[in-house]
Structure 1
Amino acid sequence: MKTTTLILMLLVSTLSIAQNVVDGRVIDSFDQPIPGVSVTVKGTSVSTISDFDGNFSLTTEKNYPFTLIASSIGFDDATFVVTSDTKDITIVLEDITFLDELVISASRAPERLFESPVSIERYGIKQIKNATSADFYGDLENIKGVDINTNSLALKSINTRGFATFTNTRFVQLIDGMDNTAPALNFVLGNLVGTNELDVQNIELLPGASSALYGANAFNGILFMNSKNPFDYQGISAYAKGGITSQEAAGDNEFYDVGVRMAHAFSDKFAAKANFSILKGTDWLAADKRDLENPGATRENNVGYDGLNVYGDEAKGSLRGLAAQNPAFDQSLLPLLPETVVSRTGYDEADLNDNDVESLKFDTSLHYRPFANDFEVIYAGKLGRGTTVTQDANRTLLRNFFLQQHKLEVKNDNFFVRGYITAEDAGDSYDIRFTGLNINNAWKSDGQWFQEYILTYLGAIGTNPNDPAAQQAAHAAARQVAETGRLIPGTPEFEQAFNQVTSDPDLASGSKFLEKSSFRHADANYNFSHLTSNFADIQIGGSFREYKLDSEGTVFTDVDGPIKYSEYGVYTQLQRKLLDERLKLTGSVRYDKSQLFDGNFSPRFSVSYTFGANKTRNLRASVQTGFRNPTTQDLFIGLDIGRTLLVGSAPENLDRYTVQDDFNNVYTGRDAYENSYSASSVQRFAETGNPADLEIADIDIVKPEKVTAYELGYRAQFGDFIFDGSVYYNQYQDFIANETVIVPGQGVVNGTDAEQLQAIQSLTSAGTRRTFTASTNSDVDINSYGAVAGFTYKIKGFDLNANYTYAKEDFDKEENPDFRSNFNTPEHKVKASIGNDELFKNFGFNTSFVWSDEYLWESDFGVGDIPSYTIINAQINYSIPALKAKLKVGANNLGGDEYFTAIGSGFIGSQYYVGLSINNL
């Protein structure tokens, strides 16, 4: 009996310990509930998350009294002592200012944004929820200093401090430490196959050179996107958006975007999460029919018309020149033919691209904390499939493009070691320009088409070869005959040819983009500050990457098998605070070595000083260096894109890439570097006929590009008013660029007199010369400079933000006419926003404004002016506490004036949407 009584007493005691249930609520200083707050029992691993109404509940075995710790991004931590007599627990969290928030990326260690030694921008959960854009990624344009080039509804390219293209190889984006650059495409895919907005915890952006800590290509800037840990953010949340896009070229079209996040901590040692989202709609149609070589020209008034977003009309030549190249043609008739350039009739982009856009994303991660503390083992897998258009030398439809990443990471508060693989599969992607060219050829070859055109022209011109009216009538008759039987979009015959061409990877007859490249990456970092803090905070780290290029010879010169090469880097950083921790000195240096190039050192030094009685002002200065390795395409591409041959300059690539013209002349990649004339001098020679105007190109093979960046910045807080501004000056060395050269089919440009004469004679006929676009470095002096300034001000519940960006390139174009820097950045840009989370009970709004100055756009696809534009986005939202939901209604480009950010891309119209998010903490 005594034994039974003792057992019952022990059970009752155990149950009483296990049933210390704590219920409470977390609110802010305005008595508003705060969802997503982590509430932990101090000294244990017991924790929970507050719900949409700020309520929480947890059970602990700890005896009374014990302490609760409540923490949430954007608020100071708060503690609350719980006793057996405590009733109605309410924990109040005080807002911290934006500059007091912690950032990690500036120094690879947590520090107040206010004390960051370099410029840094932060975009958190609050900004994501209040985004005015239909997707949070597009809303990043409101960050000061940021430029976004919109190529597609689902593909936006972020850049800072100039030199932007859609294939932006100077900017890096890391998602949970993984670089989401496509291995063969060479550029960041934005959020096409990125992160579900429900899972984004915060975004940090470092503008400018960051190679000292992050290695190659962290040149113009680096974006860090960090997701939510399932230990800290649990539950199921979801969102659904729908609406229309409105564009003059494509009309009004529906779109939808839905996503779900599921996360659960099964114990204090194991947690997991999964995210899924899908966006589907109609893209911004590219329908610019300007002829950039002949402004104002149309197919109706120009027989040599070559429209910007028209494809197939690139097949062209002068009637006399084409006839002269045909040995079967009666050469005595040449005087009857004009030098007039004639082009084939092409197809509009709408004929070759159904204009669908899709982004399908799935990711999952498993988190294991074997000791129930900060030591964590993580597996993360990301899968993404997208359909969208990208643009470089040509426009490419990425159709069912697939990217996957798999990561294994071990970390705690002082170190991390991670390894991951990124692999792509081009799926059903194809080149839109070659689709138009080869659909024409599938019906009738260029040779046959031009022969019919010439013979009909000669028959129609009669005895009046110099009469403009007769010439116009002859051209009309010739095109009518040559076009007889042309494949018409929408017909079964056209669809059959389209399917045949887009499934053929041989660009001589097809347009399929065949690509299955990948890279492996590993990096590690250890922070010794817990051991050396009395002296300084010291870190060391390093990385390794190996590329595997696999295009089966369709993009790279990898006909005989995949191309592999590797690179590695090591770095260290020392940071020390002096003078009552007001003065912060930071020095770092990194050494990187590519298998293909000499090693490179990237030092960085910065100093910052916090002054004022309450440490509310900060002055910073830094000297940073960056470098950019030539891309996979700079090194190993070998691609005929019609107008030119793209060639990479890796030593083994120069002789491996060979092409042959219709006259059996053989050209190699080496010829582009050692046996060529500059394109501009050949143009002058064509106009004057004077061989003295020719200039031998003599370009060097490509090597890494470097930059030295000087920056001075100032931050200050005056009550609820916060200011942050900086000025910078960048000096570039060995600027990587493409140079267009002409290789003669015969002769040697710097050979004997006879060989030089033969080379010059080859230039008189397009059939016995080839145009190359070669990767090289410019020896011209290129600098850039600019300033960024912005403020935030909170008054009576309203959040006011405004910023200004100035960017200028220092480069003398007249002295270097063959060099194109692709600065592609407006000199002036102004942004502003105003919003209120609680204008009325449960009702809020936000609106944003962007004005961009006009600027010049340069790229392989086209060159031209981008007019000034203004964008106004707005949203209103209503919270539904009973459903833990928020309803949002918004409009992008509210004014409706269509604009574009690059030559050849689709004009951007308006987007209207309605969205509902549930349990999004």
Structure 2
Amino acid sequence: MRKSYRRLLLVVGFCLTVPAWGWAQTKITGSILESGSKNPLIGVSITVKGTVAGTITDTKGRFSLTTAIPTPLTLVVSSVGFQPRELVVDNQTDVKIELEEQVMLGQEVVVSASRVEESVMKSPVTVEKIDIRAIQSAPAATFYDALLNLKGVDMSTQSLMFRSVNVRGFSANGNTRVVQLVDGMDNQAPGLNFSVGNIAGMSELDVESVELLPGAASALYGPNAINGLVLMNSKNPFQFQGLSAYAKTGIMSASNRSKATTPFYDAGIRFAKAFNNRLAFKISASYISADDWQASDQRDQGFANGFTLANGTRQNNPGYDGINIYGDASANLSAFQSTVAQLLPLPPAQIALVSPELAQIIAGVNQLSSATKIPATQIVNEVLLPNVTVSRTGYAESELVNYKVNSLKLNGAVHYRLNDNLEAILQANWGTGTTGYTGQDRYYIKGFSIGQYKAELRGSNFFVRAYTTQERSGDSFAISLLGQGINEAWKPSLDQSNLIGSWFPQYAFTYAGGALQIINQALAANPTDPQAALNAAKNQSNALHTAARAAADQGRFLPGTAAFEQAAATVSGRSLPGTLPNLGAKFLDRTNLYHGEFMYNFGKLLDPATVELIVGGNFRQYALNSGGTIFALDENGDEYKINEYGGYAQAAKTVADLLKLTASVRYDKNVNFKGQFSPRLSAVLTLAKVHNVRASFQRGFRIPTTQSQYIDLNTPTSRLIGGLPQFRDRYNFGTNPVYTLESVRDFGDALQKGVALPQAAQSLQRYQPRQWDPERVETYELGYKGLVKNRLFIDAYYYYNRFLNFEGAQVVVQGAQPATSADPNSLLQLIGGTTRTIYSFYVNAPVQVKNHGWAVGADYRLPGNFLIGGNVAFNDLANRGSLPTGFVTFFNSPKYRYNLSFGNRNIRNSGLGFNVVFRHQDGFLWESSFANTEATLRQQTRIPAFGSLDAQVSKRIPGLKSILKIGGTNVLGKLYTQAWGNPSVGGMYYVSLTFDELMNR
């Protein structure tokens, strides 16, 4: 055994040393200067073209490079803020290279569009990019927030720590249609299938660039990149060495918060070092702490009693359902009519055994019926227990969560160059934080963490990488379930063994008893007019509801009391969903993602003048692990594993530097669905070297998420189930019919208007299941990029999307027992909150969904390098009217949004800079599973239009190698929200100092 171990060490050592023996002793030395001042430039990257070999200049602007590449060779010299240069050199010992400041527009190099480096001007599809300079000058609190200034980008703010990037409509708080890659790793939380903002991404100090590719990108990046791709690249420790750090602090202010103005703290540090241009490492850490924005919208979205957002309140609507009020579960008083009706014929003594209070009501009803000749059931149905929805008294979000949030990110990597053409990388990114998130519920993400760990071999023309993403939910919980669980802890909503001790029966019987007392008083005054007595009770319904709530709420746990805190701790520590009355709110998720992929560029084997060819492929596995709290279990009691694989190829040809043609195709397969092909064809025509017209067609697709496939979670508004056929069997859709929610709503509205039950039941529509397939989109795009007289940069595009098998949500209602039209009374359970189940699951739209849009951006360089710019974007759902009623598209996008900016990075070389950005977006309808479904169906969930002004001033301090920055976002302080139920965002004002020992200017 020891001999085998020694042999293994010898083999490993031999493999690591062989590349070094093959290195020739070509040595090049020199210095890099700024062309204007002739000052040395530090931290400039010098690489051998077509290889991974390279170095950087030291603090005196000097460099020394040893390579095995034979001379003559080409050096690529680049530094942020300067025009890159290429020059051919031989064995030289004192190369002097001068770099000029980069002031031209449209000179960026991007890789996201084609997976190979190319000019952004000649990209075959729309690409946006922000680099280090853009990040430094952005009037945003973080580099991630700066994405909001790009054209066509929407962001949904769920917390200071969590923003979701959305493009081209179909937005969501956790957007599963936009893929976010960090150094090639899919940054999604695998149990959620979307990126949790930048909570587990990278420190701002380690960001080299961010590229945004709006629109379908499935042809090269696989499933789920159906609406866009965010590609974040970190700094290579060979090229970006030394120590850097920042400290930032300021205040956050919003009038709706418990304490309007509070401080925040943000700090980070990074260190990178290379040894002999062979081995390099980097480490970085950042931490932020603050009091979060607060969700405090108390408007009433409970429409069952005829109220609207504009006029419903807890005081006037017994069925009040506050947007950010939780625990206000509802039921219909008419649901208890059957209880009373069943007890009417029984002797009073027997009824008293069930409930003395109910016995008094029954006796009063029978006596009243005998005296007035009005049937007892009519008295019960019309007056004592009418068709009115009532809800429990809930708790505000601020009473249920601690708004102190934080985020810690730790990143590290080791790079080892085996030779000039091969580099090995081990990388780890880990982040944890506490934040808020809006999904099917509002969630408090407490101690949530994501770790990503990667091993990669990268050459100048290929890579092979494997990584895993490990998600851990910590002590996170669902806020709505917490509110409901606390209510259940002090008094159950409905306990059949103790009706009068349950909240809803207690409310119902108190209401009925009060109504009966009013009727008796009216009859005593006027015994000849029983109908007037009934009307008197109806007219006092508001007072009766108030009295009933006061009686049912006796003993309610009040926020801040020991009983409340104990109940909150118990419910938030118990796994969801639990069973009534022992609800749980804590969700468990330890889902892991395992991914391996490769890409090879045949550029070194083929004549570039003939064709450029790349191929690649990947395998991925989701290992679901929620302890049965989120995902369904299989027949063995285990959670599922989901396997996917895919491959792609792309060929490109350039004709006379005028026309570039690109074709790519990808095939992907998921274990639960048929395989999918995703082709892309594009052409870029270059005129006069600076005008580029592009056209493309591509097909994208989206494999349903892990939750879309296997979720089985009961929330306060509905039970969320997977769209796979097995769930229809699990919940007996075949034997216990389910009805579309919109038809149940029409049924309830008809009863509310006095329509007889048999006639009202005719509006009910039974749901007919359909096959569920991955969503596909066909995208047609035209675009233009041009540079006019080196001063005006224009970027414009138009796109048209045609969705096949578009995925949206279907909501259905099922009675506790099979309901049939043959027994009309059995249908009443469909409108009772405690006698029905609402299911929500994903289905394909029965018709095609089409949307289109355009965007135009322009930047103009004024004298003195002042830059003025603006962009406007339009997105629209072209055929909303042809979609089935109640089909939720999640097309959450303003029709128009625009940005205007004005700034200068370095005024007259003084080191003083500034930037101002004004943003505006139209109001729009928000569709989500968090919003009350009735509110969405009635087109009430609208997000108001808003505008916001961001600004910053910066000053470079060369003596400290630092930048001082003072700025603010939403500096005018007008509150706005970007999604239904999300927090209101106020003003944020900050000052920061960033140090970088390799800073040039």
Q: TM-score, normalised by structure 2?
A: 0.84
Other-structure match for 2:369: none
State whether residues 723 and 789 of structure 1, in contact with CA within 8 Å, keep that contact through their aligned partners in structure 2. yes
CA 1:575–1:98 in structure 2 vs 1: closer, same or farther (change >3 Å)?
same
The CA deviation string for residues 188-247 of structure 1, in whole angstroms up to 9 with x for no partner, is 112111110111111111110111111100100001000010011101100111111101
For the residues of structure 1 that align with 2:651 and 2:506, how far apart are their CA atoms?
Answer: 74
In structure 2, the partner of 1:12 is none
Is the 1:552–1:558 Cα contact (8 Å) retained in structure 2? no
Candidates 124, 131, 141, aligned match of 1:134 = 141
Q: Tell me if the contact between 1:49 and 1:233 (Cα under 8 Å) persists in the aligned partners.
A: no
Matches within 5 A, 1:447-846: 447=494, 448-461=502-515, 462-464=517-519, 466-467=535-536, 470-507=540-577, 508=579, 509-532=583-606, 533-558=608-633, 560-578=637-655, 580-612=656-688, 615-655=689-729, 657=730, 667-668=731-732, 670-671=733-734, 675-686=737-748, 687=750, 688=755, 689=757, 690=759, 691-719=761-789, 720-747=791-818, 760=827, 763=830, 766-795=833-862, 796-813=864-881, 816-839=884-907, 841-846=910-915
The alpha-carbon deviation at position 801 of structure 1 amounts to: 1.8
Contact 2:42 2:61 in 1 (8 A): no
> Unpaired segments of 5 or more residues in structure 1?
1-17, 658-666
Distance 1:833 1:31, change over 3 A: farther
| 2:358 aligned with 1:310 | no
Whether 2:55 is the aligned partner of 1:47: answer yes
Deviation at 1:41, TM superposition (A): 9.2
Shift of residue 506 of structure 1? 3.5
Listed as ranges, the matches of 1:368-379 within 5 Å are: 368-371=416-419, 373-379=420-426
Check if 1:263 corresponds to 2:272: yes
Check if 1:281 corresponds to 2:348: no
Give the RMSD, CA atoms, in angstroms. 2.8
> What amino acid maps onto 2:474 in structure 1?
G
The whole-number CA distance in structure 1 between the counterparts of 2:28 and 2:89 is: 14
Seen in structure 2, the aligned counterparts of structure 1 residues 734 and 890 have a Cα distance that, compared at 3 Å, is same
Over 3 Å counting, the alpha-carbon distance change for 1:32 and 1:739 in structure 2 is: farther
Displacement, 1:297? 1.7
Please say if residues 805 and 848 of structure 2, whose CA atoms lie closer than 8 Å, have aligned partners that are also in contact. Answer: no
Structure-2 change in CA distance of 1:599 and 1:391 (3 Å)? same
Alignment-derived partner of residue 340 in structure 1: 388
| Cα separation, 2, equivalents of 1:84 and 1:830 | 52
Which structure is higher in RCO with an 8 Å CA cutoff and minimum separation 6? 2
- CA deviations over 1:638-669 (Å, ceiling 9, x no partner): 111122111102244444x5xxxxxxxxx44x
Amino acid at match of 1:435: L
Deviations 1:362-409 (A, max 9, x none): 1111111011x1311111111110111111111011111011111111
What are the ranges of 5 or more consecutive residues in structure 2 without an aligned counterpart? 1-24, 343-353, 366-379, 495-501, 520-533
Kept in 1, the 8 Å contact 2:52–2:421? The answer is: no
For the residues of structure 2 that align with 1:152 and 1:223, how far apart are their CA atoms?
Answer: 20
Aligned to 1:237: 244
Q: CA distance change for structure 1 residues 378 and 564 in 2, over 3 Å: closer, same or farther?
A: same
One-letter code aligned to 2:108: E
Q: 1:67 to 1:767 in 2, by over 3 A?
A: closer
1:212 equivalent among 219, 222, 226: 219
Give, in angstroms, the shift of residue 83 of structure 1.
11
What is the aligned-residue identity percentage? 38
Indicate the SS of the match to 1:886: strand
Q: Which amino acid aligns with 2:674?
A: D
CA distance in 1, matches of 2:132, 2:186: 22
Structure-2 residue corresponding to 1:857: 926
Q: Which has the higher strand share?
A: 1
1:291 counterpart (291, 295, 300): 300
Distance 2:829 2:503 in 1: 25
Q: Distance in 2 between matches of 1:40 and 1:173?
A: 28
**How far is 1:269 from its partner?**
1.3
1:477 counterpart SS class: helix
Query: What is the CA deviation profile of residues 749-805 of structure 1, one whole-angstrom value per residue up to 9, with x for unaligned ones?
Result: 7xxx86x87974654655443211121111123101111111112222212221110
Match of 2:431 among 384, 399, 412: 384
| Aligned-residue offset at 1:253 | 1.1
1:287 is paired with a residue of what secondary structure? Answer: coil
* Counterpart for residue 7 of structure 1: none
Separation in 2 of the partners of 1:33 and 1:194? 34
- For the structure 1 residues 745 and 736, does the alpha-carbon distance in structure 2 shift closer, same or farther, using more than 3 Å as the test? same
Please state how far the C-alpha of 1:543 moved relative to its aligned partner. 1.0
1:901 to partner: Cα distance: 0.6
In structure 2, C-alpha distance between the alignment counterparts of 1:517 and 1:778, rounded to whole Å? 29
Corresponding residue SS for 1:99: coil
- Corresponding residue for residue 10 of structure 1: none
Partner Cα separation in structure 2 for residue 213 and residue 140 of structure 1:
23
Tell me, yes or no, if the aligned pair for 2:913 and 2:955 is still in contact at 8 Å. Answer: yes
1:300 Cα deviation from its structure 2 partner: 2.0
How far apart in 1 are the matches of 2:712 and 2:801?
A: 32
Matched, 1:887 2:964: yes
Q: Which amino acid aligns with 2:394?
A: G
Q: Return the offset for 1:860.
A: 1.1
Tell me how far apart the structure 2 counterparts of residues 693 and 254 of structure 1 sit (CA, whole Å): 55
Q: Greater helix share, 1 or 2?
A: 2
Q: 1:745 to 1:276 in 2, by over 3 A?
A: same
Write the letter of the residue equivalent to 1:581. D
1:241-252 correspondence runs (5 A):
241-250=248-257, 251-252=260-261
**Does the aligned pair in 1 maintain the 2:183–2:231 contact within 8 Å?**
yes
Offset at 1:546?
0.7
Shift of 1:460: 3.0
One-letter amino acid of the structure 2 residue matched with residue 423 of structure 1: Q
Does the 8 Å CA contact 1:264/1:273 hold for their aligned counterparts?
A: yes
Aligned-residue offset at 1:880: 1.0
- Structure 1 837/463 Cα, relative in aligned 2: closer, same or farther at 3 Å? closer
The alpha-carbon deviation at position 117 of structure 1 amounts to 1.0
Query: Matched residues in 2 for 1:302 and 1:90: separation?
Result: 76
**In 2, Cα distance between equivalents of 1:44 and 1:908:** 45
8 Å CA contact retained: 2:809, 2:889 = no
- The yes-or-no answer on 1:56 pairing with 2:111 is no
The reply to whether residue 413 of structure 1 matches residue 468 of structure 2 is: no
| Equivalent residues in 2 for 1:864-879, closer than 5 Å | 864-879=941-956
The whole-number CA distance in structure 2 between the counterparts of 1:671 and 1:280 is: 52
Distance 1:275 1:297 in 2: 51
Q: One-letter code of the match for 1:823?
A: F
The answer (yes or no) to whether the contact 1:38–1:50 under 8 Å persists in 2 is: no
| Residues in 1 aligned to 2:558 and 2:825: alpha-carbon distance in whole angstroms | 44
Q: Deviations over 1:585-640 (max 9, x none)?
A: 1001111111111111111100111011xx11111100011000111111101111
Distance 1:527 1:81 in 2: 26
SS at match of 1:105: coil
